[in-house]
Amino acid sequence: MTTPQPVPPPSPEPSPEPRPKPERRSARRAAERRATFEPVPAAPRSPTPTVQAPVPPPGAPVSAAVRRALGRDGEARADSEPPSVRPEGWRPAERALRLITVAVVAVAAAVLTGQPWLLALAAGPAALLLLSGSAGSRPSRSEVEADVPSRRCFEGEPLTAVVTVAFDGLVGWIDPGVSPGPGAELVSVQVSGPVVTLGFAARRWGRWSLGVVDLDLYDAGGLARSTVRVDLGEVEVFPLPADGSFTPIPVRLPDRLGEHTARQTGEGIEVIGVRPHVWGERQRRIHWPSTTRRGSIQINQFAAERAADAVILLDAFADVADPVTGRSSLDESLRVAAGLVRTYLRSHDRVGIVSVGGKLYWLQPGMGDAYFYRIVQTVLDVRRDLAFNTPDLNRLPPPALPHGALVYAVTPLADNRIMEVLGGLAERGNPIVVVEVPIGDPRVSASDAVEQLALRLWRLDREAVRYSLVEKGIPVVPWLGETLDLSLAPLLRSRLQGRVS
């Protein structure tokens, strides 16, 4: 029987505080003015339950568990295929093969030398093999399931795959073997009972297979193993968009409310002139200096605010590697295209995309933050569909390429077929801007005069291509690799205007 605890006496009620006296209006305003300049302490962050490990940079040393999971050399090649499926059922493990080798060598040495005592060396391995062969605790049935919590990420972000094995017997340990896909890199392996947690790093954009996992289930003695395979499925790796904030606009904007100042009059906030007063207009719009000077009521005239239509033309005819940096022109092109899409979507403009080269991909212009992922998902397969054919843009429906929409052609200018596509767009009358992705100069010998002459002719040919585009009224801006603002800044001097070639 527990004794009742004494109840503490009630605490005395606090005495009511005196009511503060009302401050003067001038003093209150001064206090508010001082409060606006005082730094406000940041709210403490709530502790996160799980902290994700940072992704190691490419080429960083890997752990022993990762090297064992990848194979003998501990490296995963992008063009390698997963190993063939192992036969079903139990088979001898490495430890059993070593015991068999010891027993066979001991028996062979006893026969060849005539020394019977050497047979004792084979007795131990033979006994272990017989005991493992008669063990009845091995699982007769096993099931494996793979779970990837997030199948969409950006380049450089981590991916996690959790593989769970279910079996009806006794298993000594689990040894995973991983064959990662071409766009992912295995960075961590953790085995905890029947659960195997694999950590990947997304290295290249695209729609890739995350890979396959072969799980070797060893018996209690480690003398036999059985292999089960599971496919981790596909993941979508989005490119890192290039940074930028400038949004050049064409001369004519569609009749849709937006954030860009149009040349037409409307209900905007930018004053573009004055005009005579019309009965019924607001008096707050009266421009008094003009009214006093002209002797009649003059009204402020405002510019309309409109949204722009932009279409990104992605050149996927060829994928050229820079001889110096090794960067892929297609990778850089998609990063530039993603940066342009994100910049214009932030300005509440409509953005679409058309990918030429191989299969023709297109998505009509739309707006909204979620539309960015739809646009990028449309062109994730361009790396798989490279083919030698020139698409016909006349087959595109009118919503895919609206009349008067600003077209950004992101191209390395390495294939002459893109010139035909740009010529067809110029005939439509759309304003076009070419963002040239650099591909670097070919490597030549400094002591070879013929190679130096060929390099000079190659540079002159590229200058001629740029000059022909400028002559058609198509500005060419280089991608400098840092931010889009450096490339688009010259286009802010005047509005872009289409020209029929």
Instruction: Provide the pLDDT for residue 352.
Output: 93
What is the rounded CA–CA span in Å between residue 223 and residue 91? Answer: 9
pLDDT digits (tens, 9 = 90+) for 108-131: 887 888 777 777 777 777 777 666
What is the rounded CA–CA span in Å between residue 196 and residue 150? Answer: 17
Instruction: Provide the pLDDT for residue 8.
Output: 43
Instruction: Provide the pLDDT for residue 456.
Output: 92
Contacts of 156 (CB under 8 A, 6+ apart): 55, 201, 202, 203, 240
The letter for the amino acid at 476 is V
Instruction: Provide the pLDDT for residue 206.
Output: 86
What is the rounded CA–CA span in Å between residue 206 and residue 184? Answer: 10
Cβ contact 477:487 at 8 Å: yes
What is the rounded CA–CA span in Å between residue 405 and residue 500? Answer: 14
φ, ψ of residue 338 to 5 degrees: the values are -65, -35
326: region left, alpha or beta (phi > 0 left; psi from -120 to 50 alpha)? left
pLDDT digits (tens, 9 = 90+) for 232-271: 999 999 988 999 889 888 888 887 777 877 777 777 777 7
- Strand segments, DSSP code E, in 437-498 are 476-478
Which two three-digit tokens encode residue 344? 């214009």
pLDDT digits (tens, 9 = 90+) for 402-439: 888 899 999 999 888 888 888 888 888 889 999 999 88
What is the rounded CA–CA span in Å between residue 4 and residue 144? Answer: 57
Instruction: Provide the pLDDT for residue 3.
Output: 42
Cβ contact 430:404 at 8 Å: yes
Q: Which residues of the chain fall below pLDDT 50?
A: 1-51, 500-501
Cβ contact 187:167 at 8 Å: no
Instruction: Provide the pLDDT for residue 46.
Output: 36
- Strand segments, DSSP code E, in 380-494 are 406-411, 432-436, 476-478
What is the rounded CA–CA span in Å between residue 181 and residue 2? Answer: 67
Which two three-digit tokens encode residue 451? 């190679």
Which two three-digit tokens encode residue 403? 């009349």
What is the rounded CA–CA span in Å between residue 226 and residue 89? Answer: 6
Instruction: Provide the pLDDT for residue 28.
Output: 43
φ, ψ of residue 105 to 5 degrees: the values are -65, -40
Per-residue DSSP letter, 399: G
Per-residue DSSP letter, 492: G
Contacts of 174 (CB under 8 A, 6+ apart): 165, 191, 194, 196, 215, 216, 217, 218
End-to-end CA distance of the chain: 102
SS3 42: coil
Instruction: Provide the pLDDT for residue 25.
Output: 43
What is the rounded CA–CA span in Å between residue 57 and residue 158? Answer: 11
Instruction: Provide the pLDDT for residue 134.
Output: 55
Residue 221 CB burial class (10 angstroms; 0-12, 13-18, ≥19) = middle
From the CB of residue 9, how many other CB atoms can be counted at a distance below 10 Å?
A: 6
Which of 419, 404, 385 has its CA nearest to residue 497? 404
Which of 143, 204, 203 has its CA nearest to residue 171? 143
Which residue's structure tokens are 């008094």? Answer: 288
| E strand or H helix that includes residue 300 | strand 298-306
| E strand or H helix that includes residue 449 | helix 449-471
